[in-house]
C-alpha cells in the first residue's frame, strides 16, 4: 500500500519522488486503493496552510486566498487542469463521441479550453477569498481537507466502474489492473472521516454529511453523462472530473459557511 501511495505521489503530484516504483497490476491496484489517502494528504497540506496563514500570520484574506489558490495548482503540477482544458475543448465542440475523443488527443488548446480553465480558477479563488474573509476558519479548514479526499475517491470510482473510451492511455492502463474489489477500502476511509468530523464539531459533521451526500449524487450523475458524451473514461476525462468535483464542493462549502450556517 505504501508503494501504491508513493506511486500516486509520483503520478499525480509535483513532489519529487525519484524512486523507480513498480507499475504492475498489483501495485496499480494498491494505487487505486490509496487514491482517497492521496486526496487526504493533499487536503492536509492545503487545509493546514489555509489555517496557518489565516490564524498565525498578518496576511489579509485576499493574500491568504491567493497563496492557498496557488498552492493548489503547484501541488498537483496542473495535471488535472490539463485534463479539464482538453475535456472542455472536446465537450464544447458539440461533436459525436469519436470526434470528441479525437479533439482531446489534439495537443493544441482551443478557445473553449482556455475560457473554461479561467472560469474554473477564478471560481475557486472567489470561494477561497470569501471563506477566508467571512467563515469560521476552524471549521472551514477541515472542509478544505475533505474536498481533495472526495475528489480523489471519485477518481478511483470512475476508473474502476466506467469503461475506458480508448484501447490505450492511462484509463485503459489502470482499468486492466483493477476490479470492483479495489474500492473495498473506500467505505472505511469515509467512516473514519465522518468519525473525525463528529469529534471536531457538530457543524463539521453536518457539513461532511452534506458534502458526502451531494458528491455521491453528482458522481452518479457524472457517470451517466460521461458515457453519453465520451463513451467512457480517458485520462483527460478523469482529470476533468476531479477538477469539476472540487469546484462543485468548493462552491458547496462557500454556500454553507457564508450564507447558510451564519
Name the percent of the chain lying above pLDDT 70.
98
DSSP secondary structure of 196-215: HHHHH-HHHHHHHHHHHHHH
Contact between residue 239 and residue 80 where contact means Cβ atoms under 8 Å apart = yes
Q: Are 68 and 49 in contact (CB under 8 A)?
A: yes
Asked whether residue 208 is assigned to any structural domain, the reply reads yes
Phi, psi of 57, rounded to the nearest 5 degrees? -130, 160
**pLDDT reported for residue 208:** 84
At residue 176, the pLDDT reads: 79
- pLDDT, one tens digit per residue, over 42-70 is 999 999 999 999 999 999 999 999 999 99
Whether residue 199 has pLDDT greater than 90: no
For residue 200, tell me if it sits in a domain.
yes
| Structural domain harbouring 220 | 2-7+21-260
**Within-domain flag for 77:** yes
* DSSP 8-state code for residue 256: I
Q: How many CB atoms lie within 10 A of CB 176?
A: 10
- The predicted pLDDT at position 204 comes to 76
CB 8 within 8 A of CB 156: no
Instruction: Look over the chain and give the mean of its residue pLDDT values, rounded to a whole number.
Output: 88
pLDDT tens, 130-165? 999 887 787 788 888 999 999 999 999 998 888 888
pLDDT for 45 equals 94
Within-domain flag for 12? no
Per-residue pLDDT at 262 exceeds 70: no
Above pLDDT 90, what percent of the chain? 39
Give the burial string for 180-207 (b: 16+ CB within 10 Å, else e). eebbebbeebbeebbeebeeeeebbbeb
The conformational region for residue 116 under phi > 0 = left, psi -120 to 50 = alpha, else beta, is alpha
Is 93 domain-assigned? yes
Transcribe 55-100 into DSSP letters: HHS---HHHHHHHHHHHHHHHHTTHHHHHHHHHHHHHTTT--HHHH
Asked if residue 237 lies in contact with residue 90, where contact means CB atoms within 8 angstroms, the answer is no
Would you state the pLDDT for residue 60? 93
* Total domains in the fold of the chain: 1
Q: Give the integer Cα–Cα distance in Å for 198 and 201.
A: 6
Contact 160, 180 (CB under 8 A): yes
Backbone angles phi, psi at 4, to 5 degrees: -65, -40
Query: Rounded mean pLDDT of 172-183?
Result: 82
pLDDT, residue 70, reads 95
Q: Residue 224 above 80 pLDDT? A: yes
- In a domain, residue 238? The reply is yes
Q: Please, how many CA atoms are within 13 Å of residue 257, restricted to the half-sphere of its CB?
A: 30
| Band of pLDDT at residue 247, cut at 50, 70 and 90 | very high
Residue 15: inside a domain: no
Q: Which three cell numbers stand for residue 111?
A: 478557445
pLDDT greater at residue 103 or residue 261: 103
Q: What confidence tier does 124 reach under pLDDT thresholds 50, 70, 90?
A: very high
Residue 14 lies in a domain: no
Distance CA 241, CA 190 (A): 20
What's the pLDDT at 72? 93
> Is residue 258 scored above 90 in pLDDT?
no
pLDDT of residue 246: 93
Give the model confidence (pLDDT) of 71-121 as tens digits: 999 998 888 999 999 999 998 888 888 898 888 888 888 889 999 999 999
Amino acid at each position: 500500500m505504501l508503494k501504491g501511495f508513493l506511486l500516486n505521489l509520483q503520478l499525480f503530484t509535483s513532489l519529487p519522488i525519484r524512486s523507480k516504483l513498480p507499475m504492475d497490476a498489483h501495485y496499480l491496484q494498491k494505487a487505486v486503493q490509496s487514491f482517497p489517502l492521496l486526496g487526504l494528504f493533499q487536503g492536509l497540506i492545503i487545509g493546514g496552510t489555509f489555517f496557518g496563514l489565516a490564524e498565525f500570520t498578518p496576511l489579509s484574506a485576499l493574500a491568504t486566498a491567493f497563496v492557498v489558490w496557488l498552492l493548489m495548482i503547484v501541488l498537483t503540477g496542473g495535471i488535472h487542469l490539463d485534463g479539464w482544458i482538453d475535456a472542455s475543448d472536446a465537450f464544447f465542440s458539440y461533436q459525436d463521441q469519436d470526434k470528441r475523443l479525437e479533439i482531446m488527443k489534439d495537443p493544441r488548446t482551443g478557445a473553449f479550453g482556455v475560457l473554461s480553465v479561467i472560469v474554473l480558477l477564478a471560481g475557486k479563488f472567489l470561494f477561497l477569498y470569501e471563506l477566508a474573509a467571512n467563515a469560521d476558519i476552524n471549521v472551514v479548514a477541515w472542509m478544505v481537507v475533505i474536498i481533495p479526499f472526495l475528489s480523489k475517491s471519485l477518481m478511483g470510482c470512475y476508473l474502476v466502474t466506467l469503461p475506458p473510451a480508448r484501447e490505450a492511455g492511462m484509463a485503459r492502463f489502470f482499468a486492466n489492473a483493477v476490479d470492483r474489489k479495489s474500492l473495498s477500502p473506500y467505505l472505511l476511509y469515509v467512516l473514519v472521516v465522518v468519525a473525525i468530523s463528529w469529534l471536531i464539531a457538530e457543524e463539521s459533521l453536518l457539513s461532511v454529511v452534506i458534502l458526502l451526500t451531494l458528491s455521491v449524487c453528482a458522481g452518479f450523475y457524472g457517470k451517466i453523462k460521461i458515457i453519453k458524451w465520451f463513451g467512457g473514461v480517458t485520462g483527460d476525462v478523469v482529470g476533468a472530473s476531479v477538477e469539476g468535483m472540487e469546484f462543485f464542493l468548493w462552491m458547496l462549502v462557500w454556500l454553507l459557511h457564508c450564507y447558510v450556517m451564519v
